[in-house]
Amino acid sequence: MSSHADVRHQALDEYTRAESAALTIRMQISKASGLAAPTVAVVLGSGLGTFADSLADPVVIPYGEIPNFPRSTATGHAGRFVIGKLSSAKTTSESGGETVVAALQGRIHPYEGYSSREAGFPVRVLGRLGIPALVLTNAAGGIHPDYRPGDLVLISDHINLQGTNPLNGPNDDRFGPRFPDMSEAYSLRYRQLAQDSARELGIPLREGVYAAVPGPSYETPAEIRYLRSIGADMVGMSTVPETIVARHMGIGILGISCVANSAAGMHQGKITHEEVLATSERAAASLGALLRTVLPRLAEQKD
């Protein structure tokens, strides 16, 4: 989206632009006393950004201060890159060290005018920072009849209906192969760790298939019936470009959807973004508790 891009860097290839952004972030981390490089990252979706505020000794970088980094414009997405330590006493890794997390408060959506490749660019930067594990969260519409607003659902697989792919165009082998495998886009081992964590905390945690659509208009009842018929349990407008880019780079993915509303035709009444944000904010406490438990465990894994 040219109106938000740093035009001075448009001539640079994507790898160089990602490395430049990562270098700026590394420099900011190096200025912070006692803060190590992050070993795990999380992208916080609509209304779910408060988790980043709980990190201790944070380094906070607005997206606009990171070279080449696209800016979030959607309501409920603060647009800040936060690096900090998990504050709970239970969040030390098995090796005894503190877990340092990179938390992205807000994401980029294709409906904002960005390409699918641009929507995945923040994950390119995470990859150049050497982060091997990534949690993607989002607010989604519930299609499965048993889902209720506020439920947390692990993404077991996705259906890409956005009409594009962030890997379209020439492939840069420095990032990954031309034809990356997607047979286990969302790590089974990560999901098992998340289920174990949820059971320990007493948090109900479902699993389902996420359908990604272009947006920004919400789906019609007929579209929801179609999505249900092809195996979707929830629907949203994000996450898939980031997942594809991450798997291209060999980054392990855990996806968590917050069911923010029942999808069109599944209940009476209209769907509003205000409803989505309000429900997500109510579920943020449960999500935060889950993240504080599972992130250190993911940091110990190698997908």
158 is catalytic: no
Burial of 273 per CB tally in 10 Å (0-12, 13-18, 19+): middle
111 is catalytic: yes
Strands 56-62 and 80-85, by their bridges, are: antiparallel
Contact 265, 224 (CB under 8 A): yes
Distance CA 149, CA 85 (A): 30
Determine the Cα angle at 26 with ends 20 and 29, to 5°. Answer: 150
Contact 257, 242 (CB under 8 A): no
Contact 293, 256 (CB under 8 A): no
267 is catalytic: no
Q: Is the model's pLDDT at 141 over the cut of 70?
A: yes
Strands 56-62 and 133-142, by their bridges, are: unpaired
77 is catalytic: yes
Q: What pLDDT is recorded for position 301?
A: 80
- Which among 20, 46, 116, 187 is annotated as catalytic? 46
pLDDT level of residue 267 (50, 70, 90 thresholds): low
- SS3 per residue for the chain: CCCCCCHHHCCCCHHHHHHHHHHHHHHHHHHCCCCCCCCEEEEECCCCHHHHHHCEEEEEEEHHHCCCCCCCCCCCCCCEEEEEECCCCCCECCCCCECEEEEEECCCCHHHCCCHHHHHHHHHHHHHCCCCEEEEEEEEEECCCCCCCCCEEEEEEEEECCCCCCCCCCCCCCCCCCCCCCCCCCCHHHHHHHHHHHHHHCCCCEEEEEEECCCCCCCCHHHHHHHHHCCCCEEECCCHHHHHHHHHCCCEEEEEEEEEEECCCCCCCCCCHHHHHHHHHHHHHHHHHHHHHHHHHHHCCCC
Domain boundary assignment for the chain: 7-299
Superfamily of domain 7-299: Nucleoside phosphorylase domain (3.40.50.1580)
The rounded percent of the chain whose pLDDT value lies above 70 is: 89
- Which among 20, 138, 197, 261 is annotated as catalytic? 261
Per-residue pLDDT of 103-135, as tens digits, reads 999 888 999 999 999 999 999 999 999 999 999
pLDDT level of residue 268 (50, 70, 90 thresholds): low
Both tokens assigned to 4: 């938000």
> Chain-wide mean pLDDT for the chain?
89
- Which among 273, 275, 278, 289 is annotated as catalytic? 273
Strands 152-160 and 252-262, by their bridges, are: antiparallel
Q: What pLDDT is recorded for position 33?
A: 74
52 is catalytic: no
- Which among 21, 41, 119, 139 is annotated as catalytic? 139
Per-residue pLDDT of 4-56, as tens digits, reads 444 444 457 999 999 999 999 999 999 987 889 999 999 998 777 789 999 99
Per-residue pLDDT of 176-212, as tens digits, reads 999 999 999 999 999 999 999 999 999 999 999 999 9
Q: What pLDDT is recorded for position 76?
A: 62
Read off the pTM.
0.90
- Which among 78, 88, 111, 300 is annotated as catalytic? 111
275 is catalytic: no
- Which among 18, 198, 237, 299 is annotated as catalytic? 237
Region 260-272 average pLDDT: 72
186 is catalytic: no
1 is catalytic: no
Region 230-240 average pLDDT: 97
Distance CA 49, CA 281 (A): 9
168 is catalytic: no
